Amino acid sequence: MDLNHLHLHVRDLLRSQRFYESYFGFRERMQVGDILFLRNAEGFDLALVPDAKTQSFPEWFHFGFRLPTSEEVRLLHARMVSEGVVLNKSLFEAVDLVSFRCLDPDGYKIEIYWE
């Protein structure tokens, strides 16, 4: 059984859609009412709901995307830095883990990693 769905409230639906499409390969799947469903190549669904006031999470809360290689993590990190994406945690490199964290347009913390 795989975890395959995440539901986020966002201030600007189009801005969030562009962010997740651009950096994480999501594509629009369908829209039901106000909810926009995106899906990536692995079949993970991201439901984005417009909401003027997003909820805050505990400081430790984040979600993550595992990439197939350490080099892909480094390349995405460099791209995000060059494009001004806010980083929450700098690039960490070890023998068996390469990771960093960024913030999406609504401040949700995202970890990008390879292990």
Question: Do 9 and 45 share a domain, yes or no?
Answer: yes
Q: Which domain holds residue 30?
A: 1-53
Question: Do 25 and 38 share a domain, yes or no?
Answer: yes
Distance CA 88, CA 1 (A): 30
Question: Do 61 and 32 share a domain, yes or no?
Answer: no
Distance CA 72, CA 56 (A): 30
CATH of the domain at 17: 3.30.720.120
Domain end residue (candidates: 16, 35, 53): 53
Q: What is the pLDDT of residues 26-38, one digit of tens each?
A: 999 999 999 999 9
Question: Do 40 and 88 share a domain, yes or no?
Answer: no
For 10, the 3-state DSSP assignment is: strand
Say if residues 75 and 63 touch (Cβ distance below 8 Å). Answer: no
Global pTM reads 0.94
Domain end residue (candidates: 10, 37, 53): 53
Question: Do 30 and 79 share a domain, yes or no?
Answer: no
Strands (E) across the chain are located at: 5-10, 27-32, 35-39, 45-50, 63-66, 87-93, 98-103, 109-114
Better-scored residue on pLDDT, 57 or 16: 16
CATH of the domain at 107: 3.10.180.10
Residue 53, pLDDT score: 86
**Which tokens in the block code for residue 109?**
């913390």
Which residue type sits at 50?
P
Report, as an integer, the average pLDDT of 91-104: 98
